[in-house]
Amino acid sequence: MKVSILQFPGTNCEYDTQYAFEKLGATTQIIWHKSESIPSDTNLLVVAGGFSYGDYLRSGAIAKFSPVMKAVTDYANSGGKVLGICNGFQVLTEAGLLPGALKRNDSLHFISKFHHLKVINNNNVFLEKLNKNDVVNIPIAHHDGNYFIDPDGLKELEINNQILLKYTNASGEAQNPNGSVDSIAGICNKEKNVFGLMPHPERAMELILGSDDGIKMLQGFLK
């Protein structure tokens, strides 16, 4: 299993992501944003979290113009699996690979804490190791995590089972930390090969650090 991880100026989660997947037995390679290709042996491409280009203009808005993003788009359109975490989710929405947009948190404050998530749909490679309605405890760390999509787009997400995760409390009841439409924390595309979420499963790999619920979230990619 080969995981390629994108690195932009300002990315700060690429090494956490590398550690997480290597802990699960994958081999990894970090790809600089000026690369014009994705390694041909890539089984999963991860757009890691952080603050690409300092989040200037708008989170992910400059990163979408990086040379590597054409290769990312080609890889996704040919069926390759892509996972965007936090800033990576923002980049994928800006690039048009996932629907919707990420706005400033309702509180206008940066949020950094563990938060519970409920599995809404697990009929996809990402969450197939979890059960529908499972609740996991995963860190969030974002200033622009407020997911927005218009009513028609939301209906389409629901019809196509593209809503993967929602913010909840430990009992699975809605608890929205940032104002996201319908408490959405993660989605996928219609083809279910491009995934995005604001929480950080790569930071939930060790019980001693608060949670290892990220293990089952990422294991689905390991075939």
Q: How confident is the model at residue 193, as a pLDDT?
A: 98
In 3D space, the residue among 21, 145, 162 whose CA is nearest the CA of residue 97 turns out to be 162
The number of distinct structural domains making up the chain is 1
Mean pLDDT of 189-215: 97
pLDDT band at 223 (very low <50, low <70, confident <90, very high): confident
Mean pLDDT of 63-69: 90
Q: How confident is the model at residue 81, as a pLDDT?
A: 98
Is the pLDDT at 53 greater than 90? The verdict is no
Q: How confident is the model at residue 73, as a pLDDT?
A: 97
Q: How confident is the model at residue 62, as a pLDDT?
A: 86
Mean pLDDT of 193-202: 98
| pTM recorded for the entire structure | 0.95
The DSSP string of the chain is -EEEEEE-TTB--HHHHHHHHHHTT-EEEEEETT-SS--TT-SEEEE--B-GGGG-SSTTTTGGGSTHHHHHHHHHHTT-EEEEETHHHHHHHHTTSSSSEEE--TTSS-EEEEEEEEE----STTTTTS-TT-EEEEEEEESS-EEE--HHHHHHHHHTT-EEEEEE-TTS-B--SS--GGGEEEEE-TTS-EEEESS-GGG--BGGGTB-THHHHHHTT--
Q: Which domain holds residue 183?
A: 2-219
Is the pLDDT at 57 greater than 80? The verdict is no
115 near 169, Cβ under 8 Å? no
Mean pLDDT of 57-78: 90
| Mean pLDDT estimate for the chain | 96
Bridge partners (DSSP) listed for residue 112: 141
Rg (CA), the chain: 16
For residue range 86-113, what is the model confidence (pLDDT) as tens digits?
A: 999 999 999 999 999 999 999 999 999 9
**CATH number (domain holding residue 154):** 3.40.50.880
pLDDT band at 39 (very low <50, low <70, confident <90, very high): very high
Is the pLDDT at 139 greater than 80? The verdict is yes
Q: How confident is the model at residue 82, as a pLDDT?
A: 98
Residues involved in catalysis: 86, 200, 202
